[in-house]
C-alpha cells in the first residue's frame, strides 16, 4: 500500500518516518494547545497592569491637585465618601441610579435585539424602520427630555424612557449590522442541506450575530450611564446624578467626585459582566 493509500485509509496514523506532531515532551498521541503552552505568569498580567494604571491615575490626580488645579485631593474625596457612606446617602443614591439604568437598559436591549433582527432579515421592514432609526440617532436623547416631561410627567417614567432610548439606539444598529454581515455562504449551505428559514435563523444567523449584539449591549450600557445624570434632572430626589447636580450649586467638588467615581465603578462592573457573558457565548471566536 502506498503512502497516499495509507493516509487515505487512516488519516490518524503518521506517515512512515514522520514523528507525531506536538512538543518533544508530549505523550504519544497527545498535543498541547496554545493556551496550555502559554506561560502561567501571563494570566495575571492584565490585573497587574490594571492596578498599575489605577495607581498612576490617582498619582496624577494628586499631583494636579497639589499643583493648584481646581481639583479636590484624593484624601478629601475619600473623607466625603466615608461621610456619605456612613449616613447611607451614597447607598440610596447608587441604588436609585442603578435601578433606573438597569430598567432602561434592559428595556432598550429587549426591544433593540428583535428590531435589529427584523431589519436585517427582512428587506421590507428594513426600508420601513431604518429611516426612523437613523433620524432618532441624530437627535441626542437629552434633547428628548423636555418632550418626555410634557408627555410623561415628572415621575420615574421620563427618566427611564430617556435611558431606554439611549440604550436602544446604540444596540439596534449593532444587531442590524450583525445580521447583515452574516456570511452568505453559511446561509446558502444551510439551504442546500434542507434547512428551513426558522432553522437557519436559529442555528446560523443568531450565533453569527451574537458578538455584534454583545458589543452593541456594551455600547448601549455606556450610553445609558452617560444619559443618567441628565435624566435625573427631571425632578429627582435621589440618585448619583441628582446628588452631583445639587453639589454643583454649593461648589462641593468632593461630592461631585464621589458621584463620578461611583458611576464609573458601577458602569465598569456592569461592563465586566457583559464581557464575561461575551466570552462564554462566543468562545468559538479567535481572540488575541
**For residues 98, 101, 103 and 108, what is the CA-based torsion angle, rounded to 10 degrees?**
-160
Which range, of 169-173, 229-233, 263-267, 284-288, averages the lowest pLDDT? 284-288
**Cell (9 digits) for 277:** 457573558
Distance between CA 156 and CA 97 in Å, rounded?
A: 11
Q: What is the tens place of the pLDDT at every residue in 127-146?
A: 899 889 888 888 887 788 88
Question: What are the C-alpha distances in Å from 183 to residues 114, 178, 204, 278?
Answer: 20, 10, 9, 20
Instruction: With CA atoms as reference, report the closest residue to 180 among 130, 228, 144.
Output: 130
The reported pLDDT for the residue numbered 144 is 85
75-105: b (≥16 Cβ within 10 Å) or e: eebeebbeebeeeeebeebbebbbebbebbb
Question: What are the C-alpha distances in Å from 18 to residues 11, 21, 268?
Answer: 13, 9, 52
Burial label for 200, CB within 10 Å (0-12, 13-18, 19+), is: buried
pLDDT classification of 59: cutoffs 50, 70, 90 = very high
Is residue 85 within 8 Å of 260, Cβ to Cβ?
Answer: no
Mean pLDDT (whole number) for 99-107: 93
CA torsion through residues 221, 222, 227, 229, sign: positive
> Residue 202 above 70 pLDDT?
yes
Is residue 180 within 8 Å of 123, Cβ to Cβ?
Answer: no
The reported pLDDT for the residue numbered 104 is 93
Distance between CA 3 and CA 91 in Å, rounded?
A: 73
Is residue 185 within 8 Å of 252, Cβ to Cβ?
Answer: no
CATH number for domain 95-281, candidates 3.30.420.10, 1.10.3720.10, 1.20.1330.10, 3.40.50.720? 1.10.3720.10
pLDDT classification of 284: cutoffs 50, 70, 90 = low
> Residue 197 above 80 pLDDT?
no
> Residue 164 above 90 pLDDT?
yes
Instruction: With CA atoms as reference, report the closest residue to 219 among 105, 114, 119.
Output: 105
> Residue 220 above 60 pLDDT?
yes
> Residue 21 above 60 pLDDT?
no
> Residue 260 above 70 pLDDT?
yes
Amino acid at each position: 500500500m502506498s503512502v497516499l493509500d495509507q493516509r487515505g485509509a487512516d488519516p490518524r496514523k503518521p506517515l512512515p518516518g514522520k514523528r507525531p506532531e506536538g512538543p518533544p515532551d508530549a505523550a504519544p498521541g497527545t498535543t498541547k494547545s496554545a493556551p496550555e503552552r502559554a506561560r502561567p505568569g501571563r494570566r495575571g498580567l492584565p490585573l497587574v497592569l490594571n492596578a498599575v494604571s489605577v495607581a498612576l491615575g490617582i498619582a496624577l490626580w494628586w499631583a494636579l491637585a497639589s499643583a493648584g488645579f481646581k481639583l479636590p485631593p484624593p484624601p478629601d474625596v475619600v473623607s466625603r465618601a466615608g461621610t456619605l457612606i456612613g449616613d447611607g446617602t451614597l447607598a440610596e443614591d447608587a441604588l436609585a441610579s442603578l435601578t433606573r439604568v438597569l430598567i432602561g437598559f434592559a428595556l432598550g436591549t429587549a426591544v433593540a435585539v428583535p428590531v435589529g433582527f427584523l431589519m436585517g432579515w427582512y428587506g421590507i421592514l428594513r426600508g420601513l424602520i431604518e429611516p426612523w432609526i437613523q433620524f432618532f440617532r441624530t437627535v441626542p436623547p437629552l434633547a428628548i427630555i423636555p418632550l418626555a416631561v410634557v408627555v410623561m410627567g415628572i415621575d420615574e417614567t421620563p427618566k427611564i424612557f430617556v435611558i431606554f432610548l439611549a440604550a436602544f439606539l446604540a444596540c439596534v444598529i449593532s444587531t442590524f449590522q450583525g445580521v447583515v454581515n452574516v456570511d452568505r455562504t453559511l446561509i446558502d449551505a444551510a439551504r442546500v442541506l434542507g434547512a428551513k428559514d426558522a432553522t437557519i435563523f436559529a442555528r446560523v444567523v443568531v450565533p453569527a450575530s451574537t458578538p455584534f449584539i454583545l458589543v452593541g449591549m456594551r455600547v448601549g450600557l455606556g450610553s445609558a450611564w452617560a444619559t443618567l445624570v441628565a435624566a435625573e434632572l427631571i425632578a429627582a430626589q435621589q440618585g448619583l446624578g441628582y446628588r452631583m447636580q445639587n453639589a454643583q450649586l454649593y461648589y462641593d467638588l468632593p461630592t461631585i467626585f464621589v458621584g463620578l467615581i461611583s458611576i464609573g465603578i458601577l458602569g465598569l462592573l456592569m461592563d465586566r459582566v457583559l464581557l464575561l457573558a461575551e466570552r462564554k457565548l462566543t468562545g468559538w471566536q479567535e481572540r488575541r
